[in-house]
């Protein structure tokens, strides 16, 4: 695990409420592709249910991080792609099950017109730094 420094309120920048503005670390960089609400057999999970989809996406992120020898404590950046900003509370709830408030990574949320298939409400990608 890399020792990460998180800054939620850099000088002259309005403080972040649900993320850190800056996360710094040293070590091995890991990029996790955008994850969808698919189970291990490729079946969609939680069609029409943002909470179920968010939980599945974070489980997939967990498994991808583990495959790279990383954990959520190593995540420095999350990007949420959502078809509706109303899904953000479900994402925050699922995130809270994996990442405590005092370890929040940098984050961005982008509303998109559509994802790769219409049943998906969100896609989330992650970047991590793992200690050497």
pLDDT, one tens digit per residue, over 40-90 is: 999 999 999 999 999 999 999 999 999 999 999 999 999 999 999 999 999
Strand 122-130 and strand 75-82: the pairing is antiparallel
Q: What is the pLDDT of residues 105-115, one digit of tens each?
A: 999 999 999 99
The residues, any chain, with a CB within 8 Å of residue 63's CB and separated by 6 or more, are none
Question: Residue 32 is encoded by which pair of tokens?
Answer: 């996790």
- Within the chain, residue ranges assigned H as helices are 50-67, 88-96
User: Domains (ranges, CATH) in the chain?
Assistant: 5-130 (3.30.1330.40)
């Amino acid at each position: 695990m890399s020792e990460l420094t998180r800054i939620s309120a850099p000088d002259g920048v309005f403080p972040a409420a649900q993320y850190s503005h800056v996360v710094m670390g040293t070590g091995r960089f890991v990029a996790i592709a955008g994850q969808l609400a698919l189970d291990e057999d490729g079946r969609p999970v939680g069609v029409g249910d943002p909470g179920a989809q968010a939980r599945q996406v974070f489980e997939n992120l967990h498994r991808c991080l583990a495959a790279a020898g990383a954990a959520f404590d190593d995540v420095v950046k999350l990007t949420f792609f959502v078809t509706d900003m109303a899904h953000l509370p479900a994402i925050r709830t699922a995130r809270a099950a994996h990442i405590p408030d005092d370890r929040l990574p940098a984050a961005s949320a982008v509303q998109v017109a559509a994802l790769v298939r219409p049943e998906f409400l969100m896609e989330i990608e992650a970047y991590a730094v793992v200690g050497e």
